[in-house]
Structure formats: C-alpha cells, structure tokens
Structure 1
Amino acid sequence: MPEYAQRDRVWATGNGKEKQGDLAVHSQALKRRTSLSIPPGIPMAVWCNLGQQVQAVSSSSAWWLGDWLLYGQLEYPDRYKNAISQTSLDYQTLRNYAWVARRFAAHQRVAGLSFQHHAEVAGLPPEDRAGWLRRALEQGWSRNELRRQVRAGKRMAGGTARTPVRLRMSPGDVQRRRWQEAADVQAVDLLEWITKILDEAS
C-alpha cells in the first residue's frame, strides 16, 4: 500500500486500545459543534493522536461534502438545490466542492495532500493531475507552492510568461437559474458547463 494511502487511515482509540478503522475522534473527548472538551490526565500519545484524528476529519470534510452533493445530484436531481440549503456554506463553495470531487475518482485522490492541493490541479488534463500531485507529495509542497510550480510549468511549456485571465461574472438569479438548468440537462457541474460553452465559443 502506498505511503500516502496508509496515512489515510486514522487510529481510533475508543476503549484505550488503538485499532485501525474509520475516522473517529477519541471516545473520551466530548465533541460539540463549537468545542472539543478533553478529559484531564490523558497520555501525551493519546493527545497527539486526537489532534491527528481531528485534522483528518477536518481535511476530509470537503471531499465528503463534494461526494454528498454528487450523490444528491445523481439520485435526487429535482431536490439537489434543496440539499445545498441543508448546509451553512454558500452555494459557490459547495459547487466548487462538487466540481473538484467529480474531477477525481476516489482512487485518484492523494490522502497525503489536502483538498485544496487537488483543487489547484483539477482543471488540468487527467494525465497531468496525477504527476503534479505525486510531485507535491514527494516534495512536501504546500498548496501555494503547488500553484506556483504549476504556473511555472505552464509558462515553460508555452515558451513565454503569460498573465492568467480571470473572469468575474455576476449573473442575476434568473440568468443563473437558466444556466444551472442547462448544466443539469447535460448532467455536468455549472462551472464545467460554463467552461465548455466558452471553449466552444472561442
């Protein structure tokens, strides 16, 4: 099993014995939405393990939300927008989660890297994504360093330095709804649909 896949497994210490399994937070820690209460006197090794568990849950949540949205879009297309309202996150954030999750099948996701690392290369051709993620893992690149390396690679490939073009759109509710319906008909993410339309127009 690759090293990064092993790191994806989290040790749950429910009854004092460590066991390999699903993501869980130590059973003696009292978990609330806005706090984590840790009992006094826990061994340092358990405290360190607890931090690893919390970090693993935190870094997994974007993937989980993305996969949850993709499932809802597939199984409940007429209720997908209602599903989005079940979270406290804004629409665009959730759409981004779903877009990145759609670009990477579960076996293509590198557990040793953050969701944000994957988002940096999600727009690249599939054959390029794996290479960049592998280099980021091997070199220990941050998300920002991966972004810098990808941009430098594009400049080298193009022969000249190019300034990235950023599009900013503020569609009205009616326009946005119309675009979303068109994307839903083609069973693609809204951002993917917009990109396809712009590519065809160019």
Structure 2
Amino acid sequence: MQIHLKFNKELGEFFEDILCKEDNIGNKFPNDDELVCEVVEHLKKGFNREKMTFDEEKYTDRKIKGYIPLEIFRIMIYILMKKIKERGSEITLYEMGYEFGKFLEPKNFRELKKFFRKNNLGILEIESRKPLIIKVKECAMCGGLEEKEPMCHFDAGLLAGAMECILKKTVVVNEIKCMAQGYDACYFEIEIIKNKK
C-alpha cells in the first residue's frame, strides 16, 4: 500500500513559511524549538510519575477509552517519518525524546526498563557494555514496518535524556540497527561525551 500526500505550490509555500526560518545569509532551516516544547509539555501533562504511565483522562474527554489500534499508529508514524526525512528534520524527534527522557528522571536502568514495558514501547536489554548498546525488542515505533535506514529517532532521544539522568554524564545516542530494516530488535549505541578540560 502506498500513501501519497500531495500539496499544491501555494500550500507548500505556506507550510514552508510556517515551518522554516532563515539564517543570516538566507539559508532556510527548520525552526522546531516551539514544537519540541509544545510536544514535551503535552506528554508531561498526563504522565503519572508514581505509576510510570500515561493517564488518558488527562488528555481527552472521549467517551471511548483505550488506545488506537497499533497498526494505525504505525502507519501514521511511517508517513510522518517519511515527511520529516524529506524536511531533513529527524533531529526534532530526537530533541522531543531527549527532553521527555530527562523529565522521566530514572534513577537506574531498571526504572527506564519499567517505563518502556509499562507503556508498551518495547523490552529493554543491555546488549553490551563496551560499547554501551541498548537493545529494544518488540519496538512499538517500527515493528512491522520496512525502511532502509533506522527510524526510531524519538526513542534514541528518549534514551539519551534518560541515560544522562542515570549515568550523570552527557551522552549521544545513535540507532545502529532498526527492526524496520529487518533486524530482530532496535539497537542503540550510547556514546558518553568526554567533558573538555
């Protein structure tokens, strides 16, 4: 199944004006700072720290409670990822995940693992310690999708923010293998950034 989103030129220019700003020499680049803040604040609104889960009642007054079917969610993610990649803005998803990962403030890996499991995001395991690689089995973001490149940018950012809380060091997380590429799980390499002396 292929889904195409078509914009006419006028609509495309409208979105470009909203989504981009220019630097001092006229080059356009995404301006996603407000979007990152807005999304993270929305996630925080209904998050119950004690239970480590989201409280649906705080997000919606819908009569029908429960989650949308996973396959509908996945296809929406797939379409969004394609559009975000076209904009060259995967960093925005990473930043959103990073800020929310810091908000979680897990004290240890066990708490982070519990958060992923309770919210059906996947099953976390430490694959190796040198280099530090975290394996996410049954990834909710990409399981069942097909893509040439890793696509779990939000998860990578979330792991970065959370691991900084756990390790008390600045880290960068890079997804090195993705279930969407046909691997058995998603693999994230955590690189600790050495502070300059």
The alignment's TM-score, normalised by the length of structure 2, stands at 0.26
Which structure has the larger Rg over C-alpha atoms?
1
Which structure has greater strand proportion? 2
Of structures 1 and 2, the one with the larger relative CO (CA 8 A, separation 6+) is 2
